[in-house]
Amino acid sequence: MPITYEQTVDQKIHERVRRKHEAIINELKSLRFGEYYFFGETVGSLGFSPFGCSGFFGMLVALFAEVTKIERNLGITLFNIVMGSRDYATYACPFGLGVKFYTGFTDGTCIITANFKTPPIQDDQAKLYKFAMPQSAADAWSIHKDWVDKLSSEGKQKIEALSFAGYLKLVQQEDDYMVKNKEALFRSD
């Protein structure tokens, strides 16, 4: 079952997310990020997802580390916040593992920086680049800004308008890439 994303306007959920991730949200605010959207990410059937067992176990761990809700159809919804930097046309999504920064460019290029260990991506054909290592959010943000500046100086144009749909497009680009490569690994075995 695919992962679905939906904005939430439930103020109680907003407050729970703010409390759960207060330290990182405040750090991002000090880095000139503002709150943009709160959303739910739902995976059906007790967390079974295109990411297989790792997605299932990840969702079970998230039940304790994130703001979650078990749906009537046994789906699991994780609630998060998307923050934004207008200066760099960048989204930041803090959650239990850390924070990911996303910037999209008009030619389809997407750069992602995470401040925790996760598989990196360097794919020129897909125009997708993910840099990840355990470090502070401020250090990850500095690296991300350097990449945005480098690509901008090479003539790439950032997608300036920040929107929930724009954020989802970048997240979906990453998710699709990860699922496609996971399927390729299983076909080659």
**Do residues 98 and 137 make contact, with C-beta atoms less than 8 angstroms apart?**
yes
96 DSSP 8-state letter: T
pLDDT tens digits, residue range 50-104? 444 444 445 555 556 788 887 777 778 889 999 999 999 999 999 888 999 999 9
Determine the pLDDT at residue 45. 61
CA-to-CA separations, 151 to 57, 88, 107, 143, 185, in angstroms, rounded: 36, 12, 11, 13, 31
What element of type H or E holds 100?
strand 98-104
pLDDT bucket at 114, cuts 50 / 70 / 90: very high
Note whether residue 148 is domain-resident.
yes
**Do residues 113 and 101 make contact, with C-beta atoms less than 8 angstroms apart?**
yes
Determine the pLDDT at residue 164. 96
Stretch among 75-84, 136-145, 161-170 having the lowest mean pLDDT: 75-84
Note whether residue 83 is domain-resident.
yes
The mean pLDDT of 23-50, rounded to a whole number, is 84
Note whether residue 163 is domain-resident.
yes
Extract long-range pairs of 169-173: CB within 8 Å, 24+ residues apart. Answer: 169/104, 170/91, 170/102, 170/103, 170/104, 170/110, 170/112, 171/5, 171/93, 171/102, 173/110, 173/126, 173/128
The mean pLDDT of 42-56, rounded to a whole number, is 54
Determine the pLDDT at residue 52. 47
Domain span at residue 123 reads 4-183
| Whole-number Å distance between alpha carbons of 12 and 65 | 18
The structural domain count of the chain equals 1
Determine the pLDDT at residue 81. 97
Note whether residue 189 is domain-resident.
no
Crossing angle for the helix pair 137-153 and 22-30, to the nearest 10 degrees: 40
Note whether residue 188 is domain-resident.
no
DSSP SS3 for 167: helix
pLDDT over threshold 90, residue 28: yes
pTM of the complete model: 0.86
What element of type H or E holds 7?
strand 4-7
| Whole-number Å distance between alpha carbons of 101 and 161 | 16
Determine the pLDDT at residue 4. 85
Determine the pLDDT at residue 62. 53
pLDDT above 70: percentage of residues in the chain: 84
pLDDT over threshold 60, residue 12: yes
